[in-house]
Structure 1
């Protein structure tokens, strides 16, 4: 400290010292991470490296960093996901692919600060997921590994393609259509918010050649369409081009009906993978992503031994005369995937936390389900439970597995409101009565201890509960909980958010 009424002087600092001081100050307020996003799907797999810059929020004493810049540094080639004869993913070949990607990009595994591995389609089957987990076992502390069912995959495609950002920028409602190898995902997005999602079994690799050039990959949905035409598939092959054309044209018609929201026939109903898309708002434009979109927009012309090119041509031919809204390229097509996971610095829980079973800590990569709505003055337990369950269903979350339920507390912390909220939480997390797996409550508000005590002491939830407050989360976040620090009686919380281009 200086008394400016007195004379004082500084010794001259060298230029290198000045730079070192400037760098030290910058590093206290900014954070650079090298992150990797890896997408392993039924048809294709790829990855990318990105540089993420995070900056401390300007609030006094804030320990939270937010992403201010993201730059894609390197993209891998697109790999046709390798499968073994028994139908499982060839983890050995995948491991070699990722090894070569790191080498070609000029990075070592130790260089990567964080990342996200997204498994979709066939990759989420138990035997495949186990094999893929082994590939990334050494990075388990750095990587978020998310298995995406049809609904979560629809959400990820909407974000990764740039469609949600485009909707927010245009302040308008758009319909996003992601056509991959085995499925098509829909997302209705209004002003940047995803209102509803759906998926059905139409894709560009439902019929495909094997390594010997034979048309031997015939997925179940292609067989269903073939059966509807009376087309015979002999010896697990479909060499007849006219039959493939007929199947592809019918698949395109089914996709167009879904895009337009037309009533579905029996075949369309059979190929639904989720409930049909809810259309609360009419879209004013359509965006596409996925491998088939590369042909729709004319970026790809090469035949890759499947029906993707023909399917794209048929969709364009059938959809064009029936729409009066523009079709827009949102920016990312086959590479509609995550950049990676940004790892925020530690937020510290409030002191009004509650724990039953300290053995639960530390815990890593716990998926977050956020309530996403303001609590009313009178809390209806059934209504709040329904909102939580709907949010979990949108993300394909299994509520019986380790989970973080997040919400903001507003209004008075009186007992009837707290009891109703605790009752809703128990209905979601322990419908059978007691819960064995870890449940984390993350509350933006100072009621962590009280609501935790009600859940354990009065509602008999179980002994694997951590209830913390003073932390802000959102959907598509994952949290790490550190060990309890006493004094001062807090838990460090690291937040990992999926990032998109």
Structure 2
């Protein structure tokens, strides 16, 4: 048993839903309790451009009893352990030092008192410039395989932005006050934006602005220069050279250039050529004014004056430049202090990645699980409740084409957001459309994986098997919202609740890094 730290104790806003159903107070933990409640230990591992760390959390999920729903909501979260923060180690060949990282994470597991066997779910996420390292994907997969029963490897600027928005508390602030919050997560290599309205992340974006785009030794000699730093320095006439000192004056110029790009995005102003070149995702497009701004990420420790040490980078100068512009441009409200800063992403990875598909599911062969890194196919169905199987077939083929995937070449997860009435005739047409659309997948003997937002999983799965005589393995789950460009991991069944954990993520590991950093020999 592990003692829970009350400082990390948090009741989720979803408890309000349960209170409307009369579910309050302590509940005896018997067999009936575990049929509708799930308790999980999760881990979040963040390997970033600047720092790496991990966190263990405990989650309590409870099934909504109304209408015998299969939806589970998180009603309680507790932080169990957070590791020290390690400066991400790099090797001379520009790859991440996997041996040093492994030693660090093993020591953290030992100190926490947890073993991989104790961990039910979670995520390893590589963020910022760390994603570009040539061995990034291998590192993420390795740590995911060693970290616990169902820990998933992820990478992606938009995913990191969402995790940071949850972990910083910005989503909670927006939900609590019913307003719009802009979360700006300023890390070592990138800054991630999340525009949040009424507790929902509406849009995300990212730009190569960070506090560790250059690294210096104790004599201020440059030992690492990332390509975005060279680009920004060139724009203001600063020369960056490996093993040559960076003057304080030039450091300020570089920080100012990066902060200017950041504030063009915050102010929704026209982008400069430099800012355009530093974007790593499409820019924010929604014209929704924000009521408050929350900073997170390592640089925010300096913005909120929680840290004053110098780690041989430009984080302090960048924070000063951001703070001065925050005052200069008279934003709608002063920056609001969130729940977390440098640990925002790892909290998001530990506590906000997992969904649970409930008890209205159909899985013909549980030995298939877990499934990992399944691309999501999201056909755009014609409007209306009635379903034309042939029109649905065409929509499925188009969705394969949009993602440059060949139907039948690999496992895919077909997600359908059909919201019609679950009458037999309509569901049967839906099943017919699935069978037509996935005919090459079925012919190839691949599993048929279907994911619904509403509680149709079991009904459709049984129709595919019993009425359409599809002999392939079938995984038909529900209560999960997916969209195009997602990837999904589906875990092993959890008994006695008869549910499966699902992690939704993005995977954008480059096969080969393009422009690489300059490193001191």
TM-score (structure 1 length as normaliser): 0.75
Q: Confirm or deny that 1:318 pairs with 2:325.
A: yes
Structure 1 equivalent of residue 316 of structure 2? 309
Aligned residue for 2:344, secondary structure, equals coil
Cα distance in 2 for partners of 1:205, 1:276 equals 22
Structure 1 equivalent of residue 151 of structure 2? 143
Cα distance in 2 for partners of 1:455, 1:118 equals 40
1:95-134 equivalences under 5 Å are: 95-124=102-131, 125=133, 127-134=135-142
Q: Deviations over 1:278-306 (max 9, x none)?
A: 12322121111111111111111111111
Displacement of 1:248 in angstroms is 1.1
Structure 2 equivalent of residue 54 of structure 1? 61
Does structure 2 conserve the Cα–Cα contact (< 8 Å) formed by 1:370 and 1:473?
Answer: no
Does structure 2 conserve the Cα–Cα contact (< 8 Å) formed by 1:339 and 1:498?
Answer: no
Structure 2 equivalent of residue 404 of structure 1? 413
1:62-461 equivalences under 5 Å are: 65-124=72-131, 125=133, 127-139=135-147, 141-145=149-153, 147-210=154-217, 214-235=221-242, 237-326=244-333, 327-337=335-345, 338-340=349-351, 344=356, 347=359, 349-350=361-362, 361-366=368-373, 376-377=383-384, 402-411=411-420, 413-414=425-426, 418=430, 422=434, 440-443=449-452, 444=454, 445=456, 446-448=459-461
Q: Which protein has the larger Cα radius of gyration, Structure 1 or Structure 2?
A: 1
Query: Which stretch of the first structure deviates more once superposed, 361-370 or 44-53?
Result: 361-370
Displacement of 1:447 in angstroms is 3.7
Cα distance in 2 for partners of 1:23, 1:376 equals 46
Does structure 2 conserve the Cα–Cα contact (< 8 Å) formed by 1:72 and 1:339?
Answer: no
Does structure 2 conserve the Cα–Cα contact (< 8 Å) formed by 1:198 and 1:274?
Answer: yes
| Number of aligned residues | 449
Cα distance in 1 for partners of 2:303, 2:171 equals 20
Displacement of 1:480 in angstroms is 2.8
Aligned residue for 2:491, secondary structure, equals strand
Cα distance in 1 for partners of 2:460, 2:294 equals 43
Closer/same/farther in 2, CA of residues 438 and 318 from structure 1, 3 Å limit: farther
Cα distance in 2 for partners of 1:455, 1:204 equals 57
Displacement of 1:332 in angstroms is 1.5
Closer/same/farther in 2, CA of residues 77 and 320 from structure 1, 3 Å limit: same
Closer/same/farther in 2, CA of residues 63 and 187 from structure 1, 3 Å limit: closer
Closer/same/farther in 2, CA of residues 465 and 204 from structure 1, 3 Å limit: farther
Q: Deviations over 1:347-372 (max 9, x none)?
A: 3524xx8x8xx899344245685969
Q: Deviations over 1:22-69 (max 9, x none)?
A: 756655554433322211112111111222223344358777654321
Cα distance in 2 for partners of 1:322, 1:273 equals 25
Does structure 1 conserve the Cα–Cα contact (< 8 Å) formed by 2:251 and 2:317?
Answer: no
Aligned residue for 1:328, secondary structure, equals coil
Cα distance in 1 for partners of 2:274, 2:436 equals 39
Cα distance in 1 for partners of 2:236, 2:382 equals 53
Closer/same/farther in 2, CA of residues 73 and 241 from structure 1, 3 Å limit: same
TM-score (structure 2 length as normaliser): 0.73
Give 5+ residue unaligned stretches, structure 2: 1-27, 506-521
Q: Deviations over 1:334-393 (max 9, x none)?
A: 11122246585863524xx8x8xx89934424568596999731778699779989x999
Structure 2 equivalent of residue 489 of structure 1? none
Does structure 2 conserve the Cα–Cα contact (< 8 Å) formed by 1:177 and 1:187?
Answer: yes
Does structure 1 conserve the Cα–Cα contact (< 8 Å) formed by 2:43 and 2:121?
Answer: yes
Does structure 2 conserve the Cα–Cα contact (< 8 Å) formed by 1:231 and 1:243?
Answer: yes
Does structure 2 conserve the Cα–Cα contact (< 8 Å) formed by 1:155 and 1:194?
Answer: yes
Closer/same/farther in 2, CA of residues 191 and 363 from structure 1, 3 Å limit: same
Closer/same/farther in 2, CA of residues 415 and 56 from structure 1, 3 Å limit: closer
Closer/same/farther in 2, CA of residues 254 and 385 from structure 1, 3 Å limit: farther
Q: Equivalent of 2:502, from 481, 486, 496? A: 496
